[in-house]
Amino acid sequence: MRLEQSVVVVATKNKGKIREFAHAFAPLGKQVKSMYDYPDLPDIVEDGETFAENAFKKAKAVGDALQLPVLADDSGLCVDLLDGRPGVYSARFAGEGASDHENNLKLLDMLESKQLGDDTEQPLLSPARFVCALLLYHPVSGETIEAEGSVEGWITSETAGSGGFGYDPLFYLPQYGRTMAELTLEEKQAISHRGAALQQLAAKLEQQI
Ligand X SMILES: O=c1nc[nH]c2c1ncn2[C@H]1C[C@H](O)[C@@H](COP(=O)(O)OP(=O)(O)OP(=O)(O)O)O1
- Binding partner selected for residue 17 from Mg ion, ligand X, none, CB under the kind-specific 5 to 8 Å limit: ligand X
119 is in an annotated binding site: no
3-state secondary structure of 192: coil
Q: Is 91 in the site for Mg ion (CB under 5 A)?
A: yes
Of residues 47, 64, 73, 74, which has the active-site annotation?
Answer: 74
Element (H, E) at 143: none
Piece of the chain touching ligand X by CB under 6 A; list 13-21, 118-126, 139-147, 197-205: 13-21
Binding mask 77-96 for ligand X (x = CB under 6 A): x------------xx-----
Nearer Cβ to Mg ion, position 68 or 88? Answer: 88
Min dist. Cβ of residue 16 to Mg ion (A)? 12
Q: Which residue is nearest to ligand X (CB)?
A: 166
- Helix orientation angle between 15-25 and 193-208, rounded to the nearest 10 degrees: 50
Q: Report the candidate in 130, 29, 25 with the shortest Cα–Cα distance to residue 71.
A: 25
194 is in an annotated binding site: yes
Among 103, 159, 179, 189, binds ligand X (CB under 6 A): 103
Query: In the β-sheet with 7-10, what is the strand arrangement from edge to edge?
Result: 31-33, 7-10, 70-79, 124-137, 144-156, 171-173, 178-179
Q: Is 88 in the site for Mg ion (CB under 5 A)?
A: no
Rounded CA-CA distance 91/115 in Å is 24
| CA distance between the termini of the chain | 7
Min dist. Cβ of residue 120 to ligand X (A)? 28
Annotated catalytic residue 119:
no
123 and 158 in contact (C-beta within 8 Å)? yes
3-state secondary structure of 20: helix
Nearer Cβ to ligand X, position 95 or 142? Answer: 95
Nearer Cβ to ligand X, position 145 or 180? Answer: 180
14 is in an annotated binding site: yes
DSSP letter for 127, please. E
Q: Report the candidate in 83, 80, 103 with the shortest Cα–Cα distance to residue 93.
A: 103
Residue numbering of the annotated binding site for Mg(2+): 74
Active site members: 74
